[in-house]
Structure 1
Amino acid sequence: MIDLTRWEPASPNEVAERLSAVESPWWIAGGYAIEFAVGAPFREHADIDVLLLRRDQLAAQLALPGWEWWAAEPPGTLRPWAAGEILPPAVHDIWCRPSADAPWRIQFMLDEAEDADWVSRRDPRIRRPVADIGLINPDGLPYLAPEVQLLYKAKGARPKDERDFAAMQPKLDAAQRQWLREAMTLAYGEHPWKDRLTV
């Protein structure tokens, strides 16, 4: 039985060190991305998410040689990810740990891209240049732009997602608010966050 709860997430700085040789783009995502955009930590993190473009997925294996890599097959089953295997489109998450008896350390998320554009898996009409989906924090770490991260968090709106939105909403500028409102309309139709994003 695989223990899905045993996490000792790598710090963002450790992630950056381990991915230092990766030439393809990557971004710290999830709650850490929101904290970077807010400018201060405000909650605990049970894991750490790193976004890769699907076309660059094997960079995760190259960055973590000797580690175990597990693919999350819908509806939520983990299975070993073989070296060099190209994952099917339905797989969006990869869990990584140094060994079988070690806790999980890093989770990679795979997003779509076409040529120079990032394409949201929530709705392929939602896209923007890959160069425009991330920012750099004061320590030089790349992270997912908050409006893009909030688009993903809006789907489930778990308590931690609500907390992230509440912390980030006052700091979004007019362009970010407009983009997020339009993207949520395409992806979800009506959403309770939209009324709190008046431009």
Structure 2
Amino acid sequence: MTRTETPWGPWEPAPLEAVVALFQELEAPWWVGGGYAIELAVGRAYREHGDVDIGLLRRDQLAVRRLLAGWDCHVADPPGTLRPWPVGEVLPERAHDIWVREHAGGPWRFQLMLDEADGTEWIYRRDVRIRRPLADLTISQGGFRRIAPEVQLLYKSKGPRPKDELDFTEVLPVLTDAQRRWLDEVLEIAYGAHPWRDRLGG
């Protein structure tokens, strides 16, 4: 794992195994996201990770904040800034990105990402036309769940960075035909043309 500097202090990501162990105590649904989710789908490590992403539904935010009552949590609200997230506060809909560390002044250890849902349906927060049954959002692996790679790629598709391009290239060979079709369809909804669509067969 890499140490990176930010205007709000350094990132020193906790080991994925430690974060997973912490979240085993959470009764609400949660899953590993980000680059780790792609790497788990590929089945091998192929790059460094600057953070650890844990996803959960917005409606379960208070449960996770109680789990992390002893941790220092800050929310990107408004985006581009960080402010403390006290226990018991319901975050506004615009807030979905939370940084977590053991104590004030320490390095950031992992990140929470809030996802939207309506009943049993997941909703892509950047385009509410894109929806998916919650039952198909994540995949079980090794005693925990990870976000489906095609869904994580959708999040990575907006202005993909070099690491996002690498993740797409690495996971593409293991995507099923159904996963490729889904991603192609939602990229068309979200963008119309997108450079990844040609490689998906769209």
Question: TM (normalized to structure 1)?
Answer: 0.95
**Deviations, residues 152-186 of structure 1 (Å, cap 9, x unaligned):** 00012001000000001111110000000011111
Cross-structure match for 1:78:
82
Equivalent residues in 2 for 1:36-115, closer than 5 Å: 36-115=40-119
Which residue in 1 is equivalent to 2:165? Answer: 162
Q: Tell me the secondary structure at the aligned position of residue 109 of structure 1.
A: strand
Where do 4+ consecutive residues of structure 1 move more than 6 Å?
none
Alignment check: 8 A CA contact 2:38 2:171 kept: yes
Q: How far did 1:3 drift?
A: 4.2
Structure 1 residues 22-52: Cα deviation after superposition (integer angstroms, max 9, x where no partner): 1111110000000000000100000010101
Please say if residues 76 and 82 of structure 2, whose CA atoms lie closer than 8 Å, have aligned partners that are also in contact: yes
Question: Which of the residues 182, 186, 196 maps onto 1:183?
Answer: 186
Moved more, 174-183 or 14-23: 14-23
CA distance in 1, matches of 2:66, 2:176: 37
What code does the residue aligned with 2:151 have? V
1:115-154 deviation line (CA, Å, top 9, x unaligned) = 01111112111111111110122x2221000000000000
Whether the 8 Å contact between 2:79 and 2:95 is mirrored in structure 1 is no
Unaligned residue ranges in structure 2 (runs of 5+): 1-5
8 Å CA contact 1:18–1:64 kept in 2: the answer is: no
Residue 111 (structure 1) shift: 0.7
Gapped regions of structure 1 (runs ≥ 5): none
Q: Distance in 1 between matches of 2:138 and 2:129?
A: 19
Shift of the alpha carbon at 1:191?
Answer: 0.5
| Structure 2 length-normalised TM | 0.93
Match of 1:129 among 128, 133, 137: 133
CA-based RMSD of the aligned residues comes to 1.3
Partner of residue 196, structure 1: 199
Q: Kindly provide the amino acid, as one letter, of the partner of residue 11 in structure 2.
A: W
Identity %: 55
Deviations 1:58-112 (A, max 9, x none): 2221222211110102331000112111111111100010101211011000110
Equivalent position SS for 2:168: helix
